[in-house]
Structure 1
Amino acid sequence: MLLSALFLVSFLPSALSAPSFRPPCAPLSLISPYQSVWSCSDALFHSFPNHWSNPTVGMSIMAAVDSKVVRIMGPPNLSKTDLPAPVQTSLEVLPTSTNYVFALFDSVQLNVTWTTPAHALDDDSVLNSKDLPVTYLTFSATSTDTSAHDVKIYFDTTAETAVNDVSTEVSMSRSSTASTTTLSVGSSTQETLSSNSDLISWGYQYVSVPTSPDVQTSLSGDVAARTAFAETQTLPSDDETLTRACNDDWPVLAISFGLDVSPGSVASSQVLVSYDEVDTMDYFGKILQPFWKSKFEDIFEVIDFALSNSESILSSSQAYDTSHISEIEAVGGSKYGQLLSLVHRQVTGAITKTLSPDGSEPWVWMKEISSDGDISTVDVIYPAAPYFLYTSPETLRRMFLPLLTYAANATGADETFDYDLPWAPHHLGVWPTCDILANQQEQMPVEESGNFLVMIAAVAQAQGDVSYLTPYWDILSTWADYNVASLPDPGEQLCTDDFEGPSPHNVNLAAKGIVGLGAYSALLQMKGDEEGAERYMKIARELVGNWTSSGTDVDGTHTRLQYDLDDTWSMKYNLLFDRVLDLNLFPDDVVEKELEYYDGKSNAYGVPLDSRADFSKSDWLMWAYAMGSQEQFDAQVEALWDFANETPSRVPLTDWYNTKTGEQQGFQARPVQGGMYARMLLK
């Protein structure tokens, strides 16, 4: 099981000079919104990992050096005898990988690296590693004392990733080929697409390794398997009862193998963790399967492909990490690079890809993680959009398609589901079932119409193409005209920051509507409709004049939160796409005055969202300061880095937090953190 020295002991790209960073939680295996595993402790061996929604995921790792055993992941009581922990010498979170380094008995250095090939690619004519439902767990060891050592590795996982209730009955099984050994577990009932829980209750978890005489595997209870390794014994034979409750003696998929560690070389091998959801989405009665099923016969073909191509896939991920971090650091420095590395898989882990209902093309879906659990919520895609516009505009375009199809009444569902509102939809249903009626939407008319027009224009400019919009021009026109009728003052409408409560006459919401009209003008220009483009641009420019005069506070230093409230303020992050799209609607001095005013409101962990409270939203903070000077931007990156590094709230990075205490206000693990990429759009 010895691989090439691709996985060098130092698996750290350009972030070597970066300051030490303690993420609140480190991403481990983020395959999908259901398969999202994090370590929320300072050291990997302090606890079991967690699902993004907090429940424990019973994965464990142990290592033995010349028959001396330590735990690498999991609490001290993994086995019947408490196991000591090694020294964790470093933790580095990269865009597609998380690397832990341990010193074992002053004789061996062990790297444990979790890699989910999560960088999105646009070319659907070839297989994309992002589409594989896999995470590679790489173990790399080297001698640090000039001696050879016998190193053994143990890994297991319970069935907790495959059920939404640990009392659920599960069934374990195994399969082997000439090249691969695979263990699997899933619920016995397999009630596919039956639950709106954040945890899945169907599909199968797989753990695989290259077949070798050195490999031991076991389908058994957690204590028996872990104790056997801890006592340097052979793993137990498979249990007689392979079907039982998940919490009945906690059945595990257990694997052990050896690494021959010699001075001056690196011994490496992988465990592959994968998941087959079987079915992924119910789109108004049409059942959609994961996109990878259009390329592979079954999950075992995926596993064989992933393991046989592991070197090229992992090399590609490593090259991506190095290049990506270098680009980010060139714009915002090493701390900006660490923040964006931390949120990269948080964003991609919230999306999934299927074929469209007619099988003609891929569609992409985003889960509104941690708030409502909704499907493809437009005002969640919007704050995340900078990530996709920078890394993969095509992925963002494919997110539009299920929503546009719904808004155009082309789902094929009966007339019950006809969408008849003059503004853009809010979402499609609750994950994983698209079945929302138009009048059941959380209505955000100007918000979602503006969001959609802005994002569509941004993708169109990035790709230089509007041809796919041919069936949708009428509904885009309807949304634009609705915003015209609703401005200059949107009145009693919700905006995306509705968690703060109603904010009628919202000045920032009005800015979004205006930028949305400018975006629609840009789309018409690309379509070749010069007259229409000029008409909407003229309306937008007139509205800017009203916005500036009516929205400015009496002291003239900034704009208000609401048109009718003096001595208030809010971050006008919605001005960002005026610059990204090069619309030139709002004068530069408007943004300059706004940011100068916000600077005076900054606390230890950044600028609050508005004058109502001390909390902020990290996505909107980065949207706003993307428009600032380098000095202003760097100051807020520093504050946000300090928050992530010091927050007492050990959850996958929250976007809603208190700027004075650093505590989580609400939300966690949300894909909106893609908004931190905003500065990259203006680089």
Structure 2
Amino acid sequence: MSSLIRSFSLLFFVAPALCALSWNATPFNPSAMPLAVRSPYLSAWLTQGQGTALNAAWPTFWTGSILGWAGYIKVDGITYNFLGDPVVPGAQKAVQKSSENSSQPHKVYSPVEPNDLVNQSIPLSYLALEVASNDNNAHSVQVYTDISAEWISGDDTLTANWTTTVGDIITHQVQLVNQTTFGEVADHIQQGSAYYSTQGLSGTTYQSGEDIILRAQFINNSKLLNTQDSEFRAVSDRWPVFAFAVDLGNVLDTSQPVVFSVGHIRDPAIEYIVANGATQLRSSYFRTRFSSVGDAISAFLNDYGGALTRAQSFDANVAKDASKIAEDYASIVALAIRQGMASVEITTSKDSTGNFNASDALVFMKEISSDGNVNTVDVIFPAWPLFLYTNPAIGKGLLLPIFEYQATGQYPNEWCVHDLGAHYPQALGHNDGQDLNMPVEESGNMLIMTLSYTQQTNDTSLLTTYYDLLDQWTQFLIADSLTPADQPSTDDFAGSLANQTNLAIKGIIGIKAMSELAALAGDTAKSANYSTIAATYVREFQQLANSSDDKHLTLAYGNDSSWGLTYNLYADKLLNTAVFPESVFNMQTNWYNSVTNDYGLPLDTRHTYTLSGWEIWTAAFVTSSSLRDSLISLVRKYASDGQGSQPFGDWYDATTGAVINTFKARPVVGAHLALLALSPGDVLGPGTGSNSTSSASTSPVLHILPPAVYKPHQWRPDEYCRPIPGGLY
């Protein structure tokens, strides 16, 4: 008898004894396998390292804290453990035979549905089990699974309570007794409920209670008691779990899947600053379609077949597009998509009648594993290719809160704000102007993303509504981007630096982006002026940034021995602005060919570490297909080398491949889709960059702030002017 665990794409065979842990991994064993990864607070992983079977360890939250999730299958009276690592007498281990990780693994678990904002906003994941005989004989089969109260808090000493609702759908709901709205402990939200559900089919039983008691009940009796534990207690006090058992009867051919859903849902989801210091409570966008959590769970479970079909289609399109670019590229993209999507939450507000407003879809991103900020502009920016490729409407939803907030005039600085709040999920802005100071970085990012969105969708609403704000940021870039003041870039962990070459590139492309936006707005005079400024800056930039032997761009002006990844050149290709001459791309390509290490290109000459996303951005603009493919393969080599055991981290040592475990599960892995986000003509070699899954029109995102609310800042002409080295002005 074999058990195909469809939700995890892990193939198990039940056997009389535990064999050595070895299996076929497709395409490779990642450092952590995403199990239920759907939102910043529904994030369950199986840590891997050199290889950990699904039943050799407990799933963990992205931080590494345990999430109890157990599974057993009983065949002809013999019980095998297939999920989690419970220690209960009477069961033996199933033997894992294979695993698969793809953008939508072989059979769906955490579906990625970017073209349906409602579906994508439901923070639920599937566990679907199928069994089939492998000896042509019928066998008696029962399955069991449970989750623990560890899913609701980062502090296991806190008290939980729970209920079980029985009907067409059976749902266990568990939550903290004392909740903190918008509060976190160890990055776990302290608000809302965990839900574990299944269809109330014949042969299904349920129970809540102490972990070892419920698991022993199934092992000894093949079913549960349909009872509820009424002794509410701390998460770690006799470990309350919430279980289901299903009797499949005598099975010969492949059974119909037994489907469970697991999730974490809260309301309100986001606190968002609006005009005059007021705040707005926002809910998950699925509430525009479903009047209750129960309705959403029921629809989700009943839609498993449809979700599976859509997942297979999505996965096929991604694999096709990525494989055309390079052989190793599809596996990197597959590892990145779910992690990137799980960092965002699509939200809505209520209209004047008290109904949820389907035309108001704002998207919020948690800066996972670094600062925990809300909608950090320089975190959205590297992740941007993911949204351009899958559905630009989600990208627009991420930009809108930044535009709306700054257009209220509450942010006092002339440049773009760094983020919308220091602590997710509270987007409370920075009315004191004391956010992390990255003025060139964030202003350039917003201009580049706005133009790329507009180009891809022909939707000019961002441009027309926030034209003055975009222009304000451009004027700042004119003052400060050719010779950037001492400031951090997005790679702030590497330190602040004056006259950063890569930062200047971003600022210049940002100015050119505004030239294109002005042209779209019909402002031909401003378009011509900004285009001339960008072209002039490029000529002067080459004198400042080229090494004295003209072999490479320096890291900072005047330091001939320095160099770095000039990944911001990617934006010139993405926007098709051609502001930098091809000679710059050729020069950088030749240089990078000569300095590649065993695991990739260092971020810059100050360190041996690198960021995998920026390497893929670099691969997307180099003029050599062999270097492009080499960079892709080196990132894959790092991702598959078994040195890590955490959700995919983008920061690692380019010499040794050792992961720097400060970064994990971050949304910036969306950067790995950089080649897919390019238009067909910009992809080297056989790639087409077809964007076959993109569709802005299928998911309306309409959230327009009246232009009258915008309050332009008053400029002092000399406010940001500094002498340019070399006396150019």
| Common fold by TM > 0.5 | yes
State TM-score, norm by structure 1.
Answer: 0.91
RMSD: 2.1
Map Cα deviations across residues 127-175 of structure 1 (whole Å, 9 max, x no partner). Answer: x321222111111111111111122211111111111211111011111
1:173 and 1:242 in contact (8 A); partners too: no
Question: 1: CA distance between counterparts of 2:616 and 2:217?
Answer: 50
1:501 to 490, 495, 498: 495
| 1:536 and 2:530 aligned | yes
1:40 paired residue number: 47
Q: Give the equivalent residue in structure 1 for 2:206.
A: 217
Residue 196 to residue 91, structure 1, CA distance change in 2 (3 Å): same
Asked whether the equivalents of residues 369 and 665 of structure 2 are also in contact (C-alpha less than 8 Å), the reply is: yes
Question: Are 1:392 and 2:391 matched, yes or no?
Answer: yes
Matched, 1:79 2:59: no
**Matching residue of 2:699:** none
Q: 2:658 aligned with 1:663, yes or no?
A: yes
Cα–Cα, structure 1 residues 357 and 624, in superposed 2: closer, same or farther, change >3 Å? farther
Contact 2:130–2:254 (8 Å) recurs in 1: no
The aligned counterpart of 1:150 is 140
Tell me what 2:677 maps to.
Answer: 681
Report the TM-score when normalising by structure 2.
Answer: 0.85
- Which of 181, 198, 209 does residue 192 from structure 1 map onto? 181
Provide the residue aligned with 2:32 in structure 1: 25
Residue number in structure 1 paired with 2:712: none
1:274 aligned partner: 263
Q: Larger deviation: 24-33 or 469-478?
A: 469-478
Where does 1:56-95 land on structure 2 (aligned, <5 Å)? 56-75=66-85, 78-81=86-89, 83-95=91-103
Asked if 1:421 corresponds to 2:413, the answer is yes
Question: CA 1:198–1:319 in 2, change beyond 3 Å: closer, same or farther?
Answer: same
How far apart in 2 are the matches of 1:631 and 1:264?
48
Deviates more, 1:513-522 or 1:303-312: 303-312
Give the Å deviation of 1:288.
1.1
Counterpart of 1:378?
Answer: 377
- What is the letter of the counterpart of residue 67 of structure 1? G
Gaps in structure 2 of 5+ consecutive residues: 12-23, 274-278, 352-356, 679-688, 690-729
SS at match of 1:282: strand
Distance 1:674 1:7, change over 3 A: closer
Q: What one-letter code is carried by the residue in structure 2 that aligns with 1:33?
A: P
Give 3-state SS (helix, strand or coil) of 1:600's partner. helix
Could you tell me how far apart the structure 2 residues matched to 1:353 and 1:467 are? 19
Please state how far the C-alpha of 1:237 moved relative to its aligned partner. Answer: 5.7
Instruction: Give, as a single letter, the amino acid of the residue that structure 2 aligns with 1:387.
Output: L
* Residue 170 (str. 1) matches residue 160 (str. 2): yes
2:8–2:109 Cα contact (<8 Å) kept:
no
Identify the residue that residue 253 of structure 1 maps to in structure 2.
Answer: 242
| Alignment partners' CA distance in 1, 2:6 and 2:57 | 29
Give the structure 2 partner of residue 366 of structure 1. 365
Q: Which position in structure 2 is the counterpart of 1:583? A: 577
Amino acid of the structure 2 residue aligned with 1:420: P
Structure 1: which 5+ runs fail to align?
12-16, 100-112, 411-417
Cα distance in 1, alignment partners of residues 131 and 508 from structure 2: 57
Note if 1:96 corresponds to 2:91: no
- Report what 1:14 is aligned to: none
Deviation of the 1:602 alpha carbon? 1.6
Instruction: Determine if the alignment matches structure 1 residue 606 to structure 2 residue 616.
Output: no
Structure 1 CA distance for aligned equivalents of residues 7 and 419 of structure 2: 42
The correspondence for 1:654, drawn from 649, 652, 663, is 649
1:195-226 deviation per Cα after TM superposition (whole angstroms, max 9, x unaligned): 37510111111111111231111111111111
Distance of 1:654 and 1:580 partners within structure 2 = 25
CA offset digits 1:562-618 (Å, max 9, x no partner):
003120000100011111111111111211221221222222211111111111101
The answer as to 2:308 corresponding to 1:314 is: yes
Distance 2:386 2:302 in 1: 31
Which residue of structure 2 lines up, in the alignment, with residue 293 of structure 1?
287
Q: Indicate how the Cα distance of structure 1 residues 621 and 421 shifts in structure 2: closer, same or farther if over 3 A, else same.
A: same
Please name the residue that 1:49 is paired with.
59
The offset of 1:18, in angstroms, is 9.3
Q: Encode CA deviations 1:114-133: one digit per residue, 9 max, x unaligned.
A: 51222311x66xxx321222
Whole-Å Cα distance in 2 between the matches of residues 468 and 615 of structure 1? 37
Query: In 2, Cα distance between the equivalents of 1:261 and 1:633?
Result: 54
Letter in 2 for 1:369: I
User: How far 1:239 moved relative to its partner?
Assistant: 5.3
CA distance in structure 1 between the aligned counterparts of 2:255 and 2:230, rounded to whole angstroms: 40
CA distance in 2, matches of 1:324, 1:263: 35
Q: Secondary structure at the match of 1:605?
A: coil
Shift of 1:337: 1.0
Mapped to 2, the partners of 1:8 and 1:622 lie a distance apart of: 28
Give yes or no for contact 1:368–1:374 (8 Å, CA) kept in 2: yes
- Retained in 1: the 8 A contact 2:420–2:428? yes
Q: CA deviation at 1:90?
A: 0.9
- The whole-number CA distance in structure 1 between the counterparts of 2:610 and 2:316 is 31
Matched, 1:434 2:427: yes
Quick check: 526-535 or 422-431, which moved more? 526-535
How many residue pairs match? The answer is 645
Deviates more, 1:441-450 or 1:154-163: 154-163
Change (3 A) 1:229 1:441: same
CA contact (8 A) 2:10 2:96 kept: no
| Counterparts of 1:240 and 1:33, CA distance in 2 | 29
Shift of the 611–647 alpha-carbon distance from structure 1 to 2, 3 Å rule, reads farther
Matched AA of 1:342: L
Query: What does 1:458-607 correspond to in 2, within 5 Å?
Result: 458-607=452-601
What is the CA distance between 1:240 and its match in structure 2? 4.3
Q: Percent identity?
A: 30
Distance in 1, matches of 2:201 and 2:307, equals 22
State the partner residue of 1:110.
Answer: none
Distance (whole Å) between structure 2 residues aligned to residue 589 and residue 169 of structure 1: 64
Shift of 1:533: 1.0
**Are the aligned partners of 1:282 and 1:434 in contact in 2 as well (CA < 8 Å)?**
yes
Give the aligned partner of residue 238 of structure 1. 227
C-alpha contact 2:649 2:664 (8 A) present in aligned 1 = yes
Kindly state the Cα deviation for residue 298 of structure 1 after the two structures are TM-superposed: 0.8
**Aligned equivalents of 1:149 and 1:329: distance in 2?**
41
The 1-side partners of 2:26 and 2:69 are apart by 29
The amino acid across from 1:201 in the alignment is Q
Alpha-carbon contact 2:548-2:560 (below 8 Å) kept: yes
Distance 1:218 1:26 in 2: 29
After superposition, give the CA deviation of every residue in 1:15-43 in whole Å (9 maximum; x if it has no partner): xx996401100111112101111111321
